[in-house]
Amino acid sequence: MKIYFESLAMHLKGELEYRVNFILSFLSQILVFFTYYFIILALFTKFDHIKGFTLYEVLLCFSIIQFGFSFNEVFARGIDHFDNLIIRGEFDRLLLRPRNIILQVLCSDSDFVKSSRLIQAIIVLIIALCHLSIEWSLLRVLTLLLMLVSSCAIFFGIFLAAAAYCFFTVQGLEVRNVFTDGGKHMAQYPIGIFKKGFVWFFIFVIPYAFVNYYPLLYFIGKKETIYYAFSPLLVGLFLIPCILLFYWGMKRYTSVGS
């Protein structure tokens, strides 16, 4: 773990060398991120609720997903951009070292510009929490933490599965975006608002429903079922096939040379 933090610090120093570029990119990221909010804010000026969910409930749902996604963009960029490692043949180098391979991929890259999104997600989360009247209890605090952690975990799993995909295709394809960006876009809203088929998909294939729908229902007091509060733990099950997929792909890996 120590290695990971050291490499993180190194990447940060590296990025800060180009200060003006860093600041400009940081600002443009804030703006890009704002366009996502803009959709929700604009639509809620015309509609009072979406299937019973109010603006701040949707924002809460939204910020949890964004938190997990941007967390991975900052701290797990090596996996997000795994195809770069494969295309340049740099993955061979990692294989030679006597360390855990996933850890090494994590160390290979990070992107602190994206931390602007992470900060924004946290701000939106706080704003949403302030506007919602939540009966705080120890269990609710735990639920919130579980939601945040599982959100990070689910995107880690998706990125890992997408990386495994690169072992076969070399180039990361646009198809991947459908699952990450498209899935993310839907999961920004409480998943129950969509048609049944999609809800099943988000329970059994990519379990977004356990990240920010079922626990959210408990958290905002729409449902009192206690096990909804612990449903984010199920996301752990989703990670297993993702990790296995990655190692399975690695076994079949043939280098592209460098």
Binding site for other proteins (CB under 8 A): 21, 24-25, 27-28, 31-32, 34-35, 38-39, 42-43, 45-52, 173-175, 177-178, 182, 185-186, 189, 193-195, 198
CA–CA separation, 9 and 16 (whole Å):
11
Shortest distance, position 54 Cβ to other proteins, whole Å: 11
Task: Pick the closer one to other proteins by CB: 47 or 227.
Answer: 47
Minimum distance from CB of 113 to other proteins (Å)? 10
Alpha helices in 47-137 (DSSP H): 55-75, 77-80, 82-87, 91-96, 101-108, 115-131
Distance CA(68)–CA(157), nearest Å, equals 11
CA dist 151 and 144 (Å) reads: 11
Q: At closest approach, how far in Å is the CB of 48 from other proteins?
A: 7
Least distance (Å) between residue 177 CB and other proteins = 6
Where do the DSSP E strands lie in 130-255? none
Contact 50, 80 (CB under 8 A): no
User: Rounded distance, CA 37 to CA 19, Å?
Assistant: 27
CB of 25 vs other proteins, minimal distance in Å: 6
Nearer to other proteins, 87 or 234 (CB): 87
Query: Whose Cβ is closer to other proteins: residue 195's or residue 252's?
Result: 195
2 vs 196 by CB, closer to other proteins: 196
**Which residue number, 50 or 94, has a Cβ lying nearer to other proteins?**
50
Question: Tokens 């909010």 — which residue?
Answer: 37
Taking 3-state DSSP, the helix, strand and coil percentages for the chain, each rounded to the nearest 5, stand at 80, 0, 20
